Chain A
Amino acid sequence: MNENVGKPKAIAVVPAYNEGKTVAAVVNEIKNTVPDIDVVVVDDGSEDNTFDKAKEAGAFVIRHPFNMGIGATVQTGFKFAVMRGYDIAIQVDGDGQHDPKFIPYMLEIISAGDADVVSGSRFLKKEGFQSSKIRRIGIKIFEHVYRILTGLKITDCTSGFRAFNRKALEFVAKNYPEDYPEPEVIILIHKANFRIKEIPVVMRARQGGKTSIKGLKSLHYMLKVIFALFMHALRKVEK
């Protein structure tokens, strides 16, 4: 009778820093769209009511005692998922940019074993929110860096909308970069011989919060990430 038998256990990992206005809606939307997955919100030491809102919405909520940055926050969620024995973890931003309607397709690909990591790209089919021009140029440059370093075609390396199977999940729970981790994760995962697949998704303009990268910071970001990418490429990866 139980239709969940044999079905992989999946959890959405939602990093949130001062997302009190949107986090409940994000949790509810995930729960309504994909009722059979759990949600864990990782509150990165927010000063607002993110924690209470996420709790009220019925998610697991982990709270960092102080702000540690997006990388450490997502990783905390992955560690939690590993400890609780989940088979699949899906990273979903807490600001409402990611539409959960794409989650079932991501789960399908992972369950079918077609990829170890699925990453949502807003540039494969150029629909929906396309980010600022500067950021798009940056992402284009990264696309070339990836081709040189990995031979992969990654169209949206800054995407924080990703699903990981158990093995990849165990890996990222142990190895996850800090600061602006998304682009770096691709290299790490590729070096650890996991298969990455991009799928087209439509992203929305953020409902709350602010972009963490703008102005002069974006130049610093580009340099830092490119430097980090090359360093990752030179490193041996411990599985």
Chain B
Amino acid sequence: MSEQTDNPIRSAIAEAITDNPVILFMKGNPDRPACGFSARTVAALQGLGAPFAAVDILPDPRIRQELSELSNWPTIPQLFVNGELVGGCDIVTEMYESGELAELLGVEAPAEPTVGPDSGPVQPAPLGIENRLG
């Protein structure tokens, strides 16, 4: 990943990925996902009770464009853990079901994995990259 200081959106994205050990770029926000794939990915993370930062890519199309160029990944959502792209909805769901996601996040896997919104953790407010565009 190359950080370009002359590109404020890309810099803000790179910084958010560096600053947040678990960060999800999604459509909508965790309380109101705007796409089924984002919703499933949020449900997997919440099913593990893992805290995560979230960025809504919808407010400005440049966020998605820059993110995909940075990550070399064409679709949304995108989950990053410790600065590394883990994957989108398919991979995150697969890893949730296999227990690999719990392991990666250092949390206890639920005895019976069910993707449900029962007892979600307290989430930090979504990050607003678009607010940093000046």
Q: Does A associate with B in a complex? A: no
List residues of chain B with CB under 8 Å of any chain A CB.
Answer: none
